Amino acid sequence: MKIELYHYIHCPYCIRVRMALGFLNMPWSSKVLPYSDEATPLALTGKKMLPIIKMDDQVMNESLDIIKHLDKENVLLSENWGDFDQTLNTIAPQIFNLAMPFWVFTPEFDPASQKYFLKKKEAKRGPFSELIKNRGIFENEIHPLLTNLEKRLKPFWDSNSFGVRDIGLAAHLWGLFSVPEFRFSEKIHAYLMSVKELTKFNYTNFHWREP
Ligand SMILES: N[C@@H](CCC(=O)N[C@@H](CS)C(=O)NCC(=O)O)C(=O)O
């Protein structure tokens, strides 16, 4: 089966699928789309939303549905996702407020995509210049939240075995690596490195865009 993944580099939902493919040892080819490209995702699924996976003639979106589909042997899903979205929602706003103003200036974003991303995200979060000015506030908010999360790592999320919730958590936390001088606690850093190894994940693969 030939697998093509349409993704954005920074997108945590896309990172989930990259991690799952790596963990499951499934070869795939990468299609990084410019953020401003509406036509390609709309033609594939009718929605301007990535990740999208194309397997031979089958096309799917929604990261968790994709992972369920790929994980035929239920290796990742032996641990249930359950209400894990609620846990992620406790840290997602701070992660996005901290990371988005830096993501937008990485080589993934061409000028049209920068404009598109800024317009969409600033409408929701306010000017990115303010987010950068206020990053200290978001950092102060996120550290106690991370300390709480850390207590649940045993060494994986509520479990001694790696599962889909670790993919969900690590994919969200990965965003903070884009924030200059942001430091994870030793335990969370070690956790992310173990997820990286298990999933053979390399954030910067496909990162570069030729000028
Ligand atoms: N529930 C979806 C969420 C995917 C999602 O929100 N993707 C964002 C990127 S992180 C997207 O495609 N946004 C397009 C846009 O806002 O223009 C999933 O789990 O796959």
| Mean pLDDT confidence for 47-70 | 96
Binned at pLDDT 50, 70 and 90, residue 205 comes out as confident
Pocket test for ligand 1, best of 18, 45, 49, 124 (most atoms within 8 A of CB): 49
Fold match flag (3-70 vs 84-199):
no
Residue 78 identity: S
> How far is 49 from 12, CA to CA, in rounded Å?
12
Pick the CATH number of 84-199 from 1.20.1050.10, 3.40.50.300, 1.10.10.10, 3.40.1080.10: 1.20.1050.10
> How far is 157 from 76, CA to CA, in rounded Å?
12
pLDDT in tens, 1-25: 899 999 999 999 999 999 999 999 9
What is the CA(39)–ligand 1 centre distance, in A?
15
What is the CA(47)–ligand 1 centre distance, in A?
10
* CATH H-level, domain 3-70: superfamily: Glutaredoxin (3.40.30.10)
Domain ranges of the chain: 3-70, 84-199
Binned at pLDDT 50, 70 and 90, residue 82 comes out as confident
In the chain, % helix, strand, coil (3-state, to 5) comes to 55, 10, 35
Q: Is the pLDDT of residue 197 over 80?
A: yes
In short, whether 120's Cβ falls inside 6 Å of ligand 1 is: yes
In short, whether 48's Cβ falls inside 6 Å of ligand 1 is: yes
